[in-house]
Every structure is written in C-alpha cells, then in structure tokens.
Structure 1
Amino acid sequence: MRAQHQDVSLLRRLYTGESVQQARRAVDGLQNSQTAIPETASPAQQFLEARVLVGLLEFRNLYTRFPLGISAVQPRPDVIGLGIESEERAAEILFNLLPSYVPAHNEVHGVPGLRITRRHQTAIELQVLGESARLRLTGLPSTLWRSAEERALSNWVDADSMHLCWRSSPRAWTAEEREHHARWENPDDQYVQVKRRGAWLGSGLLRRAALLHTVANTFMADGHHSAAFGMARLVLQSSHARAQGPGPHNVVAALLDPVCGLPLELKRYRGDTDENYGSDQQFVLEDAGKTAVLDLRAAVERPPSLLAPELWQAIVRRMPRSGFTSGLSPSVLAGFCSLGAA
C-alpha cells in the first residue's frame, strides 16, 4: 500500500507542481472516497475556481517563467492554494479578482463579494463573503503581498472612475455587487445554468494547472470561455517552444489519465503529429454528459521579441525533459487524422 501511495503521490506532482513531501502528505490524508486530486466540496467553491482560471487566462500584461505565472497548486476540497510566481503577477491577479465598480458602465469588475479575509506569513486568503468558497495565494512574504496590493492600485486603478468594493466594504457586499450578481448570476437564466453545469471543467483544470509546465514545453497560455448549444466552452491557447522537449499532446494524455485526469474524451484533432514541424494543433475534448468542452489550441513557435533573453533562458531551464508516459501518443493522433477526425 505504501508503494502504491508513493506512485500516486508522484503522479499527483505532475498535475499540481507540489513538492514530493506536499504530494505525499496530501495523498496520505485523502479519504477513501476521494481521488488523488479531490474535487471541490461545494458548487460555490467549484464556480469560484472556474472564474479564477478564466481570470488567469484572460488578464495578463507581463511575461512570466511559468505559463500562467503559477508555479504550483495545492487542491483541497474546501480551498485551493495557488503559488504565485512574482509580486508583479500577484498584483495583476489581485486587481482582476477583487471587485470594483465602474459607474460609467454600471458594471462590477472582478468577483462580486470576494474579499481578503486572512493574512499569513507567506500567504493571503480570499473568500466570497457569505459563502464557503476560498482561495489561498501563496509564495510571497507578507510585506510583498501588501506591496502587490499597492502596486495594483497604483498601476491600474483610476480613483475618479472606479469604486473599490473590496476596500470600501471589507465585511459586506456593496449594493452594486448585489445588483450585478442578481442581474448576471440569476439561477433561472439559461446561460447561467450552462456555465454552472460546466464549471467543473475550469475548476478541474485549475487543480491541474501545473501540467502546462511539468509534462509539456509550454511557455505561455491564455484563453477565454463562452457557452453555446447547452455546453460551457473553454478555449485554452498555448504556445510551445520548438525542439525544447515534450509537446502539447502530453497535456491531453495527462487529462485523459484514469487516475488523476478529468472525465473527458478526445473528440477531434487537427494538426501535424510532428510537433517539431511548427504547425498548429487543436484538440477538442468533452465529457460524456455534454456539459463542457475544452478546446486546446497549441502553437509551436518562437518566443515573442518583447520577452527578455534572461527570462527566456529561465523558461527553457525549467522545461521538462520527458512528457506524460502513458495514454495519448502521436500514432494515436495520426489515426485520428487518417480517420477524418479533423
């Protein structure tokens, strides 16, 4: 049993980026009914994590060593921890998650009701007021978390056009947040129902976010989400370094793994199976219940010219030498091509 736990903990590390000790403690502490990477304990936690993933993909203005600026994740049923790469990335994340009201557009940006509720020596916790949904941001000392907040305010906040809900009302939702939530998160609205049914995908990907840099040569990722035909759709666009290690099909193989993967099936594939050739690849995956679609669009390309040479070298040094060892292979993808799956 101990050897089996060790194997599972080493597998979990690929998905989370945790240390060996962290992964072993997490696996040893699992209940019998829990998988190696546990699901969320509540729909509220699941929906928050799905929103956080979209925020990480959509809102970024700087290049980072890790594809999302996240070095590791620590998923527990009631909370998820995100290891933030730098103070600059932390400032971006705080600005885009914490809610602010823009009177000119009558809109609330960020997650309504989200507040900084706890501060630790090397972390801060964010929670949606009145709900159990929580997010722990780690990786920086307390002084830098304070500095990240100030950096977010000085870089992007216009005091004349934005009302900071999280600062003006730290212990209660503002009227603007309640109005925004009632308007855009009405549980009777069909679009909202589709988003919430498919929130497991965004949450599950966030809990496995390290895959982008542990099994593939990803150097940047962004994307967006939508809903159509009764299904939530998440588009993930990833950039991969040519001839620098395992390619994007390793991410797909890991997502299809029966132990730590997600309940997805590969439905379509487009692209050349030789990942060194440089052509784009597209993997379309969905669940059997047809609640969510993952559209992974991978491009093999050179780094952008604005990327500092020293940062690019740091990215190359952390790229893995081997990919995911089982499951999807280039020959399987070639079979999809020959069968007309494109």
Structure 2
Amino acid sequence: MPVIANPSELDRQTFDFVIVGAGCVLANRLSCRYRVLLLEAGTRTHDDLVESRVPLLNSRLKNTEVDWKLQSVSQPNADNRTIGIPLGKMLGGSSAFNACLWHRCSPSDYDAWHTNGWTYKDLKPYFCKAESFHPAHDVHGTSGPIHATDLEINPESLGHYFRRACQNTGLPDYDDLTDKPCQIGVTHVQSSIYQGERSSTGACYLPKDILERTNLTVAMGCHVTQILFNDDQADKVRFNHHDHDYVVHIGREVILSAGALFSPFLLLKSGIGPKDELARHGINVVVDLPGVGKNLQNHWRIPLVHETIKPEMSLHRDLFINTEATLKQALDQKTGAMTRIWPDAVAYMKIK
C-alpha cells in the first residue's frame, strides 16, 4: 500500500519483518515475498523537497525538520566545542540529504575487518548490484536502482588545476580510484546524480510501483523507542506517533536500519549492551554485549576557503551571479551549476 496517513491503525498488527529507519533496500526486496512494515521517524520524502532533488541545495536542509540536529559531546581537542552532526530524518535517511559523493572505501579497509564474508571481494558484487553507473565501467554495476555518474571536469576549471597541482607533488592521478587496493591519489568526483537530480535510496528503491505493493506498509512520523523481548526473542516494536505510543508484533525479524548512531542507541534502550552501563540508566539487561555503542569513528570535515585570481575558475560562479536563473535551469532543464556537487576533484593523501 502507499505511505499510510494514520500510523495508529498499525497498533497490535503483526508483520513478518519490521524495518526501523532508512531501510528502503530491504523494504524493496523483502516485500516481494513477505509482509513488511517500514517505520520512518521523518515525515518528508525526496519528492517533497526541491532542496533534496536539486543536488547543490542540500546545505539548506541542515538544521531543518529533515535533520536530526545532533550535537557531539564537548570535544577537548576542538577547544571544548560541541560539533554538529548532520543526519537525515526523512525517507531514505541521509541518502536524501548528503553531498551526493559516490565512493567506496579502500578495499584494504574492508579486508582489515578480518571477518569471513565481509572482505572487499565478498562485498563488491553487492556494491555493483546497487548501482547503474554512467558511463558503463568494468568496476561498476550497470543495472542497479541507484544512478551514479562520473563528473566531467572542464579543462579550464579549478578542479583540473587542482589535479595538476596534486600530480606535481607526486600524488598519483587516477580516472577511477574505486578498485585501487589503497586509495592514495587524486581523481575527479563520482556522484549519485543522474540527469540533473539526486538518486536517493527512498526514490530509487521505493518508487510508486513498489510502494503500491499490498504487503508493504510505510509509516512516516513514527519514532521507534524500544524493541520488546519475550525471553531472548525480539517480539514487538514500540513506536511513538504524535505523542501516543503504539506496538506492532514481529512475525519473523526486526531489522535495525537506523544508522551508525541510532541503531546502537536503540539496542541500548532495549537492553542490549554493556550491563554496567545499562544498569546506570535503569535499563533491564536482555543481553550483556560490551561492544554496543562503542568504537564510533567519524571523519573530520575542515572547510578551507581559497581565493583565485581568475574568477572564471570559481567552482560555482553562476550560483552567486544569478541564483534564481541557475535554479530555474536546474528545475526546468536538469542542467547547470546546481545539478552538480561542490567539489570537482578529490584527493586522498597521508597526513603524517
């Protein structure tokens, strides 16, 4: 069925699979055979928001209703400041909200997990299954739901000269870093943009024909607060909608797809985590699992602004000269500066 208007109708119903968060991929695949409920805390979709569809407008979504507006704890090494953590709160999660950079980690990063079934060689078929890459390339998929593209660089652009500068320092230059064992080098940017619009998981995995499946239910504005257990088996999911609590029953499994922060947070609230920490917060222990909520690693983002003596080399000069016309071009023709992403090129280098 389409996105339901009144999630309270779900109370006490049973679903084979209950998916919490931005689990659009699994909602698509599992609903071929099973009765599936997707519970999404946000209330907006990719199609609702021009700021989501037009790639270069994504910064306007920060600190709005589609951002969880999270703040870090005080950071001793950053002058004790708290740092904002943008996180998408809408169908498709941060894929409808982010900078549209389309990039895999170094194969060595996956291999360093030393986990059977999770090496880069194991995972690569699934990366390829997700994408339709334009133009076709032997290290990318060509028939997946997410459309991704190579960003063309004007030979007179700042990105072109940036690549040349990196080469002059000895940094390797690649047309595609994707399959390099250790991704040290400079390259042009690949993006989850196609024909001038963002490709988000919500739009690509849950198009109209999928949403109309009778055994798929998508409920928006539903904030999951706890997984309930019967002995050691996940039995129910409790969620809040408009300040009222409801419960749905789990026929087979509950799937946490709430991201790197909210998935462990929900596990902890449900009694799965380090027992001493749970006890401090008055949470009954279901499973003593010390690793839950630990070892979060996030990358730094430090913007640096440089001035060029050639204004025509500006990354997005058109935005500042005639913003209204540039937006109209993006909406009507799916072309122009707003249909690109901020960087033209990207370099990965050792800092030590």
TM-score by length of 2: 0.25
The structure with more radius of gyration: 2
